[in-house]
Amino acid sequence: MYRWMLTSDAMRKIIVVFLIICIQNGFTSPHQSYTNDTFHQSARPKQQQLFHTTSTENFELDYNSNDKEVINNALNRGPYFDTSASKNVTALVGKTAYLNCRIRNLGNRTVTWIRHRDLHLLTVDKTTYTSDQRFVSVHNPQMGDWSLQVRYPQRRDSGVYECQVSTTPPVAYSMILSVVEPVTTIHGSPDLYIDTGSTVNLTCIVRHLPEPPATIQWTHNNEEINYDSPRGGVSVITEKGEITTSYLLIQRAKISDSGKYTCTPSHANPQTVNVHVLNGY
């Protein structure tokens, strides 16, 4: 009994020692392998990430090539619009305007121009369909341009115009026409009375121009004013902007400075003022 107990006690000790060894081993070697595993695992997701990234790139490449394919198909299959030019066209009242529709791959399709406001059919290919003969379709085969010419444009012609190509379904390109009417005014017009010896200050203002006028010319009795004349004291100051102002200054006014002064901005209507230099005594 005692021996068994001893044996049993020894066995227990042996088992405990064995267990300790096992646990120690179990803690060391599995831990190492775990570390390696961790290393591998930490490496693997990286690789997976890399792979994933690569596959994403591949996907993007595929997507891009799909995109290219779509474009290529579009090139092969149908017309498309050259959108590089501005969709906004500003025109002056009365001055012929062009809405330019540049079409690639048109093939044998028909081009129509439609006024968006009332869906009025204006032109079909080179034929004007509306009774308003101011609308003409102008074709430039080299450039692939189908322009809508608007003769004598009025402010009411402002709006959206659509260039349509007869595919199924039709494709369209919208353009915006803004017809503006510049207004030129001169302060004190039509008649300005000035005392001899004082300074004549003529102020010409140009409004509603899409961009400032390149030049503003002044004339006196229809003759261009010479700012370097022996008379001297004549100068002009022009401030360009959304509103452009030109000041014509004539110092020490004389009777001979009287007469008709006209301000002529480029791309806008001229304006005239009659200056009366009076003896101020």
Ligand X SMILES: *[C@@H]1O[C@H](CO)[C@@H](O)[C@H](O)[C@H]1NC(C)=O
Which residues, numbered 160-199, are part of the site for ligand X (CB under 6 A)? 176, 187
Under the binding rule (CB under 6 A), the answer on residue 236 touching ligand X is no
Question: Residue 88 CB, nearest distance to ligand X (Å)?
Answer: 4
Question: Which of 185, 221, 182, 223 is CA-nearest to residue 203?
Answer: 185
The one among 203, 219, 238, 274 contacting ligand X by CB under 6 A? 203
The one among 32, 58, 64, 226 contacting ligand X by CB under 6 A? 32
Question: Residue 109 CB, nearest distance to ligand X (Å)?
Answer: 7
Give the three-class secondary structure for 277.
Answer: strand
Pick the closer one to ligand X by CB: 178 or 274: 178
Residue carrying the six token digits 């080179």: 126
Q: Residue 255: what residue type?
A: I
Under the binding rule (CB under 6 A), the answer on residue 88 touching ligand X is yes
Under the binding rule (CB under 6 A), the answer on residue 201 touching ligand X is yes
Pinpoint the alpha helices (H) of 1-115: 2-77
Pick the closer one to ligand X by CB: 108 or 221: 108
Q: Which residues contact 222 (CB under 8 A, 6 or more apart)?
A: 260, 262
The one among 42, 84, 108, 221 contacting ligand X by CB under 6 A? 108
Under the binding rule (CB under 6 A), the answer on residue 226 touching ligand X is no
Question: Residue 236 CB, nearest distance to ligand X (Å)?
Answer: 11
Question: Residue 14 CB, nearest distance to ligand X (Å)?
Answer: 29
Under the binding rule (CB under 6 A), the answer on residue 249 touching ligand X is yes
Under the binding rule (CB under 6 A), the answer on residue 42 touching ligand X is no
Instruction: Give the number of other Cβ atoms within 10 Å of residue 41's Cβ.
Output: 11
Per-residue DSSP letter, 155? G
| C-alpha angle 257-258-264 in degrees, rounded to nearest 5 | 90
| C-alpha angle 134-82-162 in degrees, rounded to nearest 5 | 35
Per-residue DSSP letter, 257? G
Q: How many Å apart are CA 183 and CA 210, to the nearest integer?
A: 12
Count CA within 13 A, CB hemisphere, residue 172: 15
> How many residues bind to ligand X according to rule CB under 6 A?
13
The stretch among 12-20, 32-40, 68-76, 139-147 that binds ligand X (CB under 6 A) is 32-40
Pick the closer one to ligand X by CB: 36 or 56: 36
> Which positions lie near ligand X, rule CB under 6 A?
32, 36, 39, 86, 88, 107-108, 176, 187, 201, 203, 247, 249
